[in-house]
Structure 1
């Protein structure tokens, strides 16, 4: 995509020799063919950021989309997405879609993640709530939408840019889970000086990128903040005496839901390291 139009380009063979794979979102130098609107990629410029699952480059922010109902919000899964996003160092927004379906649950979720230092964008494609707010967040950014299937990512993009006409999937009545409707990674121009990466989803949410048990707490903002008050350096906030994090959980300054998820992830990392 250039100021003069869109060109279909192929990567030169030299990239294979240099072990470089052009990715969605790359900024590149191209040489155009004189015969048609095609060309060759001559150079891939240095990337500001890179995700491997999905494989995209130069992302400036991530919006984690969850639905409050149909399917019900899963805080455990949301926290896994947040760990991955924090690890990548991306600017993070949480979007809770289908906000018209359950006020009580969305208020609880808002309270949990407000304590953790996150702002929530509440949206509904039925009522139009939050769509303009979401559109402003997308301006002048390259954004990747993350979240499980069925939460309404494609519906949100259709609401922001109706002419996209992206396919929208149904949620299974039996499993209350959605079906993937996006089949490939695509960079969508939003007409608002911004782009969105629409992808089939994150192929893996394994925590195998975390190298040690002590690293996990860094990706929970509120745990990381209070860990400096712990008696021992390297406190895992589990059974250690003098743990400031556990004190804050008891005082309800840290959500018990987030803390219990942290302990589950800690055990998972221990098992990964063990084997």
Structure 2
């Protein structure tokens, strides 16, 4: 590859370690699994000890990374340690080729889902996530929260108390975001100190000068007093700039995490994270370079504990 690893900006403060983060929205097809995987990988590239947990019962990431046997293994059952409190962490944690560790999904996540309840969603934090952070084995634990409406998804939100929310264009995705915010995030107990680290407009494809779903998503988020403060710099367009864009007085930007086929190709064809995949290429396209830069910014946001203008 002809370019060096992208640095988001000079980091003067020490990173805030000891964090768990759930990457999720309660709707499928929003790109959460690939985003979670690549954020975990970029944090590792930045020198951190990282654990990535796949809590998606579909096991897409697990199987794509080559852990099909673990996914099909009925003894790989997180219910044992999370609900019944027996077994060792090492039974469920696998090293990877990329200097981060991995807890694969398995067919037994359905058992975990059936044994969790609204009264027991704190068990994932108490019996699995928190001990690993408190003994400083990991700087960051990143969770693919499982999607859809489930006890596992709610447990991942509660165990992390930090979230990054991907949201693609479209009315159904907007409804999924509203459901996530109203039913889960706004209902988190005060003692969890729950925090949205970033909202990521994801899988953007359209030219935003035109009134289409991509434009509506980006403009609505940027104009929102509630949500605009969570947008990464690569998704921000100040309210006063929209008229300038429409009148041709400024170049049309390409905000948000753009749809990039190599994000999927890296996983589906080469069974590796995006950044590791493009490192194997002789050259890097402008689109791939921007994607990597945006993923690094999301890792930087986690290090800072949220979106910041510093």
TM-score normalised per structure 2: 0.32
Using CA pairs below 8 Å that are at least 6 residues apart, which structure has the higher relative contact order?
A: 2
Q: Decide which structure has greater helix share.
A: 2
Structure with the greater alpha carbon radius of gyration: 1
TM-score (norm 1): 0.35
Structure with the bigger percentage of strand: 1
